[in-house]
Amino acid sequence: MVAIRSRVVYARQTMAALPARMVYGNDAWARNNKGQQRTLRDLRTRQPGPIDAVAQRLADQIDDLGYALPETAAAPDVVRAVQDGYADVIDDPAATVDMGRRIRHVVRYVKNPLQHVPAMRDLLTPSAVDVLDAFYAGWWEIQHVRMWRIAHIPPHEQRFHHYGNQWHCDQHPTTTLKLFVQISDGVTPENGAFRFHDVPNTRRIMRTGFIDNGHAVGPARRLMEDPRSARYFDVPAGRSAFCNTTRCLHRAGIPPEGTTRGMVQFTFVPRTSGPRGADPFAGLRPDPNVAEGNFA
Ligand SMILES: O=C(O)CCC(=O)C(=O)O
């Protein structure tokens, strides 16, 4: 009975999401789409200074395609310090929380990662800051910083949602940007790379048969699953990628049995008031969503 009721609720939610999906080509409903581009346009009329030409090109690419890779990697000593810090903290039960939906331990987050691995701050490179300054015209702030690792999901469990292992769009305002930073060495499409579709592909998939969380029919299914259409975040450790995860369909790869893959992620939102401080991390509080009892 409960299963039937939850299927009915699910079907109703899927139907209710459809009109906004058709209009906006993403899953963030009207409330997180409407007015968001105006917010960016308004910020951009208050651009405080000249913008680096490369950063502007990448910011324009984020507008058009939903993603961009900053030009430079973090310095090798920073990458080493982050990798060492990650290795020290990730198996510490007091500093981490398992948040998989069905199998808890397949995704493990570090609580308050900046406290444990302060070198993470330097993964936000000057070239990434330049892109943010171009995209938000300088009016941005960090919403939260995350560090996590994903592990293998047994084959019979892979069709269920554990971490972001199924194709999905986030439901943030479309002005939210995420910067993914590779912290594991040797990441490939086969061993768990994060992957995503650009905005034009995502719109096509959303409008031609996407249902929810990895489920799609018809042309949407073919395009969603076509490995030639997806982009893979298989860059070396220390490189990063901006991805608008609300506008870009995305998912985590699944590492082979016995292996794991780490990730650092910075989330940015528009800043509406106050002067920009020299330190973008000043005043940042621990992320309340990374907590016992929560799910990825
Ligand atoms: O690649 C990953 O670890 C999961 C990323 C993801 O799906 C997300 O951040 O929404």
Residue 2 in this model has a pLDDT that exceeds 60: no
**In-domain check, residue 23:** yes
Which are the contacts of 220, defined by CB distance < 8 A and separation ≥ 6? 204, 205, 206, 207, 208, 209, 210
Q: Per the structure block, which two tokens stand in for 27?
A: 């899953």
Count of CA atoms in the C-beta half-sphere (13 A) of 192 = 25
Count up the domains in the chain and report the number: 1
Query: Measured in angstroms, how far is the CA atom of residue 19 from the centroid of ligand 1?
Result: 26
Q: Give me the sign of the Cα torsion angle 37, 67, 207, 251.
A: negative
Residue 10 pLDDT greater than 80, yes or no: no
Cβ of 152 less than 6 Å from ligand 1: no
Biggest CA–CA distance in the chain, Å, is 61
**Ligand 1 atom nearest to CA at 195:** 1
Instruction: Kindly give the distance from the C-alpha atom of residue 165 to the centroid of ligand 1, in angstroms, as a whole number.
Output: 8
The phi-psi region of residue 35 (left if phi > 0; otherwise alpha if psi is between -120 and 50; otherwise beta) is left
- pLDDT of 13 > 80? The answer is no
Q: Binning pLDDT at 50, 70 and 90, where does residue 263 land?
A: very high
Predicted pLDDT at 273: 81
Q: Going by C-beta distance under 8 Å and a sequence separation of 6 or more, which residues neighbour residue 25? A: 199, 202, 203, 204, 206, 207, 247
Alpha-carbon span 250 to 5, nearest angstrom:
29
Task: Examine the pLDDT at 276 and tell me if it is beyond 80.
Answer: no
Other residues' Cβ atoms within 10 Å of the Cβ of residue 274: 8
Expressed in angstroms and rounded, the spacing between residue 60 Cα and the centre of ligand 1 is 23
State residue 274's pLDDT score. Answer: 79
pLDDT band at 6 (very low <50, low <70, confident <90, very high): low
80 in any annotated domain: yes
Q: How many whole angstroms separate alpha carbon 278 and alpha carbon 25?
A: 37
- Span 59-78, average pLDDT: 97
Would 287 be classed as within a structural domain?
no
- Residue 252 scores a pLDDT above 80: yes
For a substitution probing ligand 1, which of 148, 251, 268 has the most ligand atoms within 8 Å of its CB? Answer: 251
Q: Which of 30, 67, 227, 56 is nearest to 130 (CA)?
A: 56
Has residue 292 been placed in a domain?
no
**For residue range 74-127, what is the model confidence (pLDDT) as tens digits?**
999 999 999 999 999 999 999 999 999 999 999 999 999 999 999 999 999 999
In the predicted structure, residue 260 carries a pLDDT above the cut 90: yes
| Best mutation site among 245, 248, 287 for ligand 1 pocket (most ligand atoms within 8 Å of CB) | 245
Residue 275 pLDDT: 74
Index of the ligand 1 atom closest to the CA of residue 178: 9
Question: Does a structural domain hold residue 178?
Answer: yes
Q: What is the CATH number of the domain that holds 52?
A: 2.60.120.620
Q: Is the CB of 164 under 6 A from ligand 1?
A: yes
Residue 148 CA, ligand 1 centroid: distance in Å: 10
pTM: 0.95
Residue pair 231/195 in contact by the 8 Å Cβ criterion: yes
Q: Which domain holds residue 148?
A: 14-270
Residue 279 lies in a domain: no
| Pairwise CA distance, residues 102 & 262, whole Å | 20
For 163-222, what is each residue's pLDDT tens digit? 999 999 999 999 999 999 999 999 999 999 999 999 999 999 999 999 999 999 999 999
What is the band of 5 on the pLDDT scale with cuts at 50, 70, 90? low
- Which tokens belong to 221? 């299914």
pLDDT attached to residue 277: 79
> Atom 2, ligand 1: which residue's CA is nearest?
252
Domain assignment present for 281:
no
**Beta carbon of 296 within 6 Å of any ligand 1 atom:** no
The amino acid at residue 194 is F
Domain assignment of residue 296, yes or no: no
46 alpha carbon to ligand 1 midpoint, in Å? Answer: 33
Query: What is the percent of the chain with per-residue pLDDT over 70, rounded to a whole number?
Result: 96
253's CB contacts (< 8 A; 6+ apart) are 189, 190, 191, 192, 193, 194, 195, 232, 261
Query: What integer best gives the mean pLDDT of the chain?
Result: 94
Shortest-distance atom of ligand 1 to CA 148: 3
Q: Candidates 191, 248, 263, 287: which one to mutate for ligand 1, based on the most atoms within 8 Å of Cβ?
A: 263
User: pLDDT tens digits for 205-221?
Assistant: 999 999 999 999 999 99
- Taking the C-alpha atoms of residue 248 and residue 85, their distance in angstroms, rounded to an integer, is 30
Q: Give the per-residue pLDDT at 47.
A: 81
Dist. CA 39–CA 37, nearest whole Å: 5
Q: Is 170 in the pocket of ligand 1 (CB under 6 A)?
A: yes
Whether 150 lines ligand 1, by a CB cut-off of 6 Å, is yes
